[in-house]
Chains A and B, each alone.
Chain A
Amino acid sequence: MREFSGMKTKINLMIIMFFLLLAPAAGSTPSARSLEISGAIIQIAAFLLAMCGSLFLASGLWIRGEKGSESWKYLSISMIMFAVWNVIMAFGLMIGSLMAKSGNDTGGVFENLLNIINVLDPVIEVVVFMILLFGMQNIIKMMRTKPWAVFGKEGSDE
């Protein structure tokens, strides 16, 4: 418990440091182009970070689902789909930046890819949230009807 609060304090400090490091940059007057580039880089980094976090969580939830209620596996699948969404969004941003840089010399390949991404983006998001909703419904149902089975297999000897 103390380890977690210590770790949480460290993570909070890291987040505060991250924003403090941005403060000097906020005081400067960059050009519009460099602002766009830095904005795109931060967005791509955020998507990749969320992808890593959600994959890490998905593995933990899957293991919990193997040892306890199957409802955790639905949340795990939701996190995996969320990771896929993050990858697609990061990819879409990179393609958008490449298209902006190269103008009309791409031969339509990037445009087609961007169109596919623009269609996949809302579809995957809807799937993520529907699976999340389903998983949470199952968990709460399990908590109300069989609370002992949320973290341990039903029927296992103690």
Chain B
Amino acid sequence: MNELFLILLNAAASVVIIVCSVLSLQLLIGISRELKGLEEIDVMWKYFIIMSGLFILLGMTRALGTIGTVIFSDIQPIFESLISVILIIFAVFAVLLSISLEEITE
């Protein structure tokens, strides 16, 4: 497979992901503003905001790491370990959010 094609594809995807992440972050800020004063479902929204924030962070890290690795190949282990840590913490909050969503259903 053409290296240049892969680099361009990853660069284009990274740009789209960064744009989507920034817009999602703005929406997340909007959601947290809407939630001021709602006490009943605080725990679920707290987990939702944390998990969404982690997801956005993952996307930004991946996108910036992919672009950065093209320029400086030495940073690849750093960004891979960052991705792993974020994924583990994301998994924890995803489970917590899912449990709190079930509580609301009841």
Contacts and interface: CB of A to CB of B under 8 A. Distances in A.
Contacts of A60: 97-99, 101-102
B6 A56 contact: no
B13 interface: yes
Contact of A52 (B66, B91, B105): B91
A136 B105 CA distance: 20
Interface residues of B, number: 50
Interface in B34-92: 34, 41, 43, 51-52, 55, 59, 62, 66, 77, 80-81, 83-85, 87-92
B89 A130 contact: no
Contacts of A39: 77, 80-81
Contact of B13 (A8, A126, A144): A126
Nearest to B91: A53
Contact of B16 (A57, A82, A129): A129
A132 B9 CA distance: 21
A43 B84 contact: yes
B24 A46 contact: no
A140 B31 contact: yes
B83 A46 contact: yes
B4 interface: no
A17 interface: no
B80 A133 contact: no
26 contacts: A4-B43, A11-B92, A43-B84, A46-B83, A46-B84, A47-B87, A50-B90, A50-B91, A50-B94, A56-B94, A57-B98, A60-B98, A63-B105, A64-B101, A67-B105, A82-B55, A119-B9, A125-B59, A126-B16, A129-B21, A132-B55, A136-B24, A136-B27, A139-B31, A140-B30, A143-B34
Interface of B is mostly: helix
Given A54-B94, A118-B6, A143-B31, A46 B101 contact: no
Contacts of B66: 122
B40 to A, nearest CB: 10
A96 B63 CA distance: 21
A137 B27 contact: yes
B98 A133 contact: no
A135 B59 CA distance: 16
Contact of B92 (A43, A53, A86): A53
Contacts of B85: 46
A59 interface: yes
A50 B98 contact: no
